[in-house]
Amino acid sequence: MSSTHPGPADPEAADAAGLRARTAALLAAHDPATTPRLDFLRARFDAGLAWVHFPAGLGGLGAPRALQPVVDAELAAAGAPGNDPRRIGIGLGMAAPTLLQYGTDEQKRRFLRPLWTGEEVWCQLFSEPGAGSDLAALATRAVRDGDGWRVDGQKVWTSSAHLARWAILLARTDPTVPKHAGLTYFVCDMTDPGVEVRPLRQITGEAEFNEVFLTGVRVPDAHRLGAVGEGWRVARTTLMNERVAIGGSAEPGTPGGTRETGLLGLVADTWRAHPELRTHDLHQRLLRLWVEAEAARLTGERLRQQLRRGRPGPEGSGLKLSFARLNQELSGLEVELLAEDGLAYGDWTMTRPEVVDFTGRDAGYRYLRAKGNSIEGGTSEVLLNIVAERVLGLPPEPRTDKDLPWKDLPR
C-alpha cells in the first residue's frame, strides 16, 4: 500500500507569520461567535490548521510541528471552539499518527477529517483476556475471505467502544509463524454485524471500559493498514504514541501545567486544610512526592518539546511509568491524610463516562481509580522492560517463545 502525501509543504505557511495570516483568514470567514461548532472545526481542518505538521489536504500544511502553538494561541484568543481532545483521545493520539504513517492516501482522506473534528470516535481493539501484557500473543483470528477478512475473537479493556464508529484492530492472520510475525493491522467498523460491545464494570462502580466480541465480522482488505504479517510493526507506532498520550498529558506531570496541577494539588490542599492530621512521616512523604511530581511535570514538558521535532521516543514509556506510580502514591497519601473521611465513597451507581477524570469525585474514588493507572496503556512491568532495553541499553530478557510458531505456544 502506498503512503504518499497528497501535496507538498506550503512555503508561505512554514513560518509563524504565515500561520497567523492563515488563522486570521479562517476567523474572518468563519466567525466563532456565529459559526456552528462543527462547521468551524471542519473549516479549520480544511484550512490546514488542525495539525499544521500534517500534509496539505489532510488537516495540515507540512509546516514544522513546533508552530502548532502559534495557531492554537490565535484561536484561543478569538474564542474559537476546540475538538474536545479528551473525548477523542484514542483517535487523535493513536489512530491518527498510525494512519498517517501506514495508511493509503484513500484511507487518510476518508478517516482523518471526521476523526479530528470528533464526528467519528475511535477505539482500540488490542488487549485480550489471554494477551494483555504480552500483546503479541493475541488470539483473535482474521482469515482471508474473498476481497476481505473474516474476524473472530474477543477483546477486553476497550475504552470508548460503546461510543466508537471505528476501531484500530490487531488480529492474527498466520498462526504458523512466531507470534510477532503473524499479525495484521486493520480498521474495523464498529457498526458492522458481528460486533458486540458489553460494559466492563470497574472497582469504582463505573464502566469506562468494554468487552468486545467479534463474531464473523467482515473487514474489507481496503481497511488493512500496512502489509499482511506486518501488524506488529504498525502496532508499535500506535503503542508508542499511546504511552506518550497517557504519560504526557495526565496529572500530575501535565505538560504545560503548573506546579501542583492535578492530583498533587488536591493532596497539597488537603495537607494545608488539616493541620491536625500532620505527622513528620507524612510531611516527608508529601515533600518527596511533590519533588517527584515536579520532576515528572518538567519531563513531560521536555517530551512535548521533543514531539515538536518529530516522532516520540521510548521516553514516553518512562513518563507513563512515573505517572502511574505517582498517582497511586498520591491518592494513597490523600486517603491517609483524611483518615476515616478518606474511606467514604459517594456513589456506586454504574455510569459510562465519556472521558476519564483522574481527579474527579472524592478521595475514595481517586484512590480506587488510580489502581488502573499501572495497567492501562501498557502495564508497568512491560514498560520497565522497554525502558531497560531501549533507554538504558540493558540486555533483553530471555524469551524462549520468540522463535516458536504461535500455534505451538502453551495457552
Active site (catalytic) residues: 242
User: Coil, strand, or helix at residue 56?
Assistant: strand
Residue identified by cell 483518615 is: 339
Q: Cell numbers of 292, please?
A: 517527584
272 burial class (0-12, 13-18, 19+ CB within 10 angstroms)?
Answer: exposed
Q: Are 346 and 361 in contact (CB under 8 A)?
A: yes
* Beta strand 209-220 pairing with 195-200: antiparallel
* Cα distance between residue 329 and residue 57, in whole Å: 45
Q: Are 117 and 83 in contact (CB under 8 A)?
A: yes
Q: Cell numbers of 147, please?
A: 476481497
Residue identified by cell 493509503 is: 104
* Cα distance between residue 376 and residue 118, in whole Å: 23
- What are 271-280's contacts with CB under 8 Å, separation 24+? 271/337, 274/337, 274/338, 277/337, 277/338, 277/339
CA distances from 358 to 108, 180, 260, 264, 369 (A): 32, 34, 14, 11, 7
- What are 265-273's contacts with CB under 8 Å, separation 24+? 266/334, 266/359, 266/363, 266/366, 267/330, 267/333, 267/334, 267/337, 270/334, 270/337, 270/338, 270/363, 271/337
Q: Cell numbers of 207, please?
A: 464502566
Q: Are 49 and 102 in contact (CB under 8 A)?
A: no
